[in-house]
A = this chain, B = another copy of it.
Amino acid sequence: MLCCNETERTQTQVDAKNAEAVIHYAGAELFVGISPSGHALAIETDSTRSSAPTPMELLLLALGSCTGVDVVSILRKKREQVTDYRIEVRGERRAEHPRAYTRIEVRHVVRGRNLSEKAVAQAIKLSDGKYCSVAATLRPAAEIVSSYEIVGEEMTAGEA
């Protein structure tokens, strides 16, 4: 929706925590974005040069970290011992403009000691359906498909 007259816009209540991001054009297809919390980030829009993350890549990073912190937090509450954790995120896009994501695969690789598979599955499900704000923002456009892998942590001789 496009409107050009400031006075025509309705008054809205803006989330204080997401006050305003400012994105400056830095020339040569580069941008410097300053997040509402005041952190600057170089953003690349020339994918051939590829000097920094692109706008569409940022969506994948946002989704992975958003669901990741939910899972970490839920597993911690369940007293599960996670020793390493990564999230792999793959996106598929429309072939035509606008090249929106249509499907995003999120794979959680959780390493730990005696991890409960049920707890991991439940944490991911809770993030997916209830807590992850990024997933909820992307999902109407893109199907989000989650999966997981649990890697057992071997105890060393000294710990046995």
Interface residues of A (CB under 8 A from B): 1-6, 9, 12-15, 17-25, 29, 31, 33, 35-39, 41, 43-45, 47, 50-66, 68-69, 72, 82, 84-94, 97-101, 103, 105, 121, 124-125, 128, 130-149
State whether A140 touches B141 (Cβ < 8 A): yes
Dominant secondary structure at the A interface: mixed
Chain multiplicity (copies): 2
Partner of A138, one of B124, B132, B138: B138
State whether A137 touches B37 (Cβ < 8 A): no
Shortest Cβ distance from residue A51 to the other chain B in the assembled complex, whole angstroms? 8
State whether A133 touches B99 (Cβ < 8 A): yes
A100 proximity list for chain B (CB < 8 A): 133, 136-137
State whether A45 touches B19 (Cβ < 8 A): no
Can you report 13 residue pairs joining A to B where beta carbons are below 8 Å apart? A1-B145, A14-B90, A14-B91, A21-B61, A23-B65, A36-B57, A37-B44, A37-B50, A37-B57, A55-B65, A58-B62, A97-B131, A140-B140
